[in-house]
Structure formats: structure tokens, C-alpha cells
Amino acid sequence: MAEAQLFVSQEEFICSICLHTLTDPVSLHCGHSFCLKCLSDCWDQSQVCSCPQCRHVFMLRPELKRNTLLNEVIKKLKKTAHSSPSSKNYAGPGDVECDFCTGKKFRAVKSCLTCLASFCQTHLQPHYEIAAWKGHKLVDPDRNLKEKLCEKHQKSLEMFCRTDKTCICMMCGMTEHDGHEKVELETEREGKKKQLGATLRGIRRRLEEKEKKLRETRKTVEEMKVS
């Protein structure tokens, strides 16, 4: 049987006292875990032994023993993070964050117009592996996914109505825009891109012609000065 893949990261194993990845983790009866040293120091400085996270009070100071299983999980996560290039792909200013990362978020590599969410490389994998998700429409990371929805039908804007010059969803195309001239949004986008490219080339050509005339005029002036 193939091994199931569990999407977790180091950021999910943070000590709430030092705010770093757990070191020699110990788990209390209330379910919360801390670094052995952090919790010991905390209790040494307090007259009451309580959980620093949920404030559950222990009548007797529990004996702290390292959680062996949790410690091995964290070790493997650290090893995976150091060997994986994705460990350096944290989202920075201007990047689109992964909506499924917890703690410090990774940079999104794709946004899904069907899920209306953005995914890092790890959390994107189900879209390539799960049959029901393979048909979803993936695009480059986009922080304004809600703007891609039709306000009336809450469906993806997949078409362009050339009659009304507006983006519409499939439901709009079958109702109020029925009979209008419509094309796929991507087709209209490519057409506009080509028009813009042609316009820019025309502007550059005219600028080059003006610069050439300016050089010729300057040359003529210099020749007149010499003569």
C-alpha cells in the first residue's frame, strides 16, 4: 500500500513559551506540548504549576519526560526542511501566500479559480493527484481571486461579452447576455495583448523616427555653425 502523505511543517510544532520549534518536547495531560527546558524554567520561577497555554493547574508538579514520538517527528521535519528547496520559499512582501499553510506561510505557485484559493507547491499536489480536482482551473498566483467571481451568480468569470464589453460567467452568458457576441476570456485577453503589442511597436517606431530627425537637425545646425 502506498504511504499516505501528511501535509505538515515545522511551524505546526512551535513552543508557545520560546516561539521556536520544540526542542526535547514534553506533553502535558491537557494536550499541550513545550520544550523541556522552557517548561522547567517556567515552573521553577512560579509557585503554581500550570499549563502556560490553557492555564490548567496541576495540584502536583508532573514529572516531565520527553515525548519520544513527537521528538522523532520534529527531527524528520527538520531534516526534510533542510534538504528541500521549498524551505526557502517563504512568502515575502508582494508575494501571494498559500491559503493552506499554517504558521509562517510559503509562497503560492498557483491559484485555483474553482477553489478560490492559492497553493504552495506542497499543498498544490492534490490538484494533480486527486481525480475530482484535476479539472480545476489553475492560474498564476492571484491575490484578488474574489474579483474573478460574478457578483450575481458567484461563478468564475470565464467569458467576455463583446457586445457589452464586460467579463461574464457561464450563467450570465445563458441569461441576460444570451444572443450577444461572446468569446472565452483567454481568447479576448490574447487579442488585447496583441493589439497592445502592435500599439507599443508603433509608438517605438515613431519615437525612433523623431530621434533620427532630431539628430539630423542637430547635425545640420553644427555644420551651419562651422560654415
Model confidence pLDDT, tens digit, residues 151-172: 788 777 888 999 988 888 888 8
Quick one: average pLDDT of 185-203?
A: 88
pLDDT at 4: 43
Percent of the chain predicted with pLDDT > 90: 13
Q: Please say whether the structural domain 10-83 has been given the CATH code 3.30.40.10.
A: yes
pLDDT at 80: 66
Model confidence band, residue 82 (pLDDT cutoffs 50, 70, 90)? low
Quick one: average pLDDT of 82-90?
A: 57
Average pLDDT over the chain reads 83
Model confidence pLDDT, tens digit, residues 39-60: 999 898 888 888 888 888 888 8
Q: Please say whether the structural domain 149-227 has been given the CATH code 3.30.160.60.
A: yes
**What's the number of CA atoms in the CB half-sphere (13 Å) around residue 170?**
2
Highest mean pLDDT: which of 13-22, 76-85, 188-197? 188-197
Residues whose CB is less than 8 angstroms from the CB of residue 109 and which lie 6 or more positions away in sequence, other chains included? 119, 120, 121, 124, 141
**Phi, psi dihedral angles at 97 (to 5 degrees):** -85, 150
pTM above 0.75, yes or no: no
Query: Which cell goes with 58?
Result: 496541576
